[in-house]
Amino acid sequence: MPHKTLIQDYPHQIGGHCGSGAMRDLLHWHGLGWDGPPSEGLVFALGGALGLSYVRSSALFPPLYLVGRGADFEIDLPRRLGGHVEVLTTDDPQEGWSWVRDDIDSGRPSLVWGDIAELPYLRVQMQMSRHDIVVIGYDEDAHVAFVVDNDRADVQSVPLESLARARSSTSFPEPTRHCTYRITWPSELPAIGDIAAAAFRQSAENLRQPSGASIADLTPASGAEGLAAAGALAADIHTWTGLPDGEIEILLFGLGAFIEKAGTGGGLFRRLLAEGCAEIARLTGDPATADLARVADCCAQVWTETARAGIQRDVDVRARLDAVILSVNRLPEAEADLAEALELASSSLATANR
């Protein structure tokens, strides 16, 4: 029979990034934290998901894809905190909906993927399948689900048909396949110094020695990962000078959107990392982590300046491209400095906690 239920008093806050915003809410909902409910920056930093991938492909619109995190944040964070994660996928919409329905009927918010183009409240045309949302209720008589999203402060009513399309998308970067994360959280959290050390080490490895576990599939297109991606991006942007003005305009718009607007928290996730590291430094008193927060903030600023250079108002497109080239030339060094600071902070925290 049709049924209606809603998880009450869910502690949702608008966030900078879909994954860390959703995880922040979920941790708060389960009463977990070290000094009160965790901030989104702290959650992102502890996920160890910082990374870098760049793809240039005429099959995309805009014809590039830039992302500053790895693929497994939603799995790695709960496991690092002592929890368990089961990733459920199916091509059967009824089975996919049953997982969400069962979670909510059991009083558990349900973390799922949804293509942004199919979520009517976002009002976007660009398709991107790996967007985290949390379903906290449904009304089958009214044919709606109740969704929280980092991009909206209020609970959203989404038609069940729209949600089903969002959860069965085959768009870039990969099919959603009704993906549902069923997380069992621990009753209490480990010492923050230990897990921060492991998270920083993982993020440094994502930059130094990327494993290939990237959000974007780099095989059919021109692309790179880790520190090499910063160099590849800089080299590619230099070639844009030979393109028509219209194509440059599209590329500059896309570049700015991926750095600042596409759910990155600003500065291609580096600003979230800086905020989280500052909080970890406060909680642990670790000077290397405080240094890491400053380096991450500087790196975020270089990314932000690159984005802003490309979208300056009342500036000729060629002049904007020249400004972007000057800024992007600083990115390889900024990313290398960030990798080194992550390694130093990881070592410092690990030594302090022995």
Report the distance separating Cα 33 and Cα 158, nearest Å. Answer: 31
Residue 73 has a pLDDT of 96
Residue 40 has a pLDDT of 98
Residue 3 has a pLDDT of 80
Where do the domains of the chain lie? 4-31+84-184, 192-212+222-352
Give Cα 143 to chain centroid, integer Å: 30
Residue 62 has a pLDDT of 83
Residue 128 has a pLDDT of 86
Tens digit of each residue's pLDDT, the chain (354 residues): 558 899 999 999 999 999 999 999 999 999 999 999 999 999 999 999 999 999 988 887 888 999 999 989 999 999 999 999 999 999 999 999 999 999 999 999 999 999 999 999 998 887 889 999 999 999 999 999 999 999 999 999 999 999 999 999 998 889 999 999 999 999 999 999 999 999 999 999 999 998 765 555 545 456 899 999 999 999 999 999 999 999 999 999 999 999 998 889 999 999 999 999 999 999 999 999 999 999 999 999 999 999 999 999 899 999 999 999 999 999 999 999 999 999 999 999 999 877
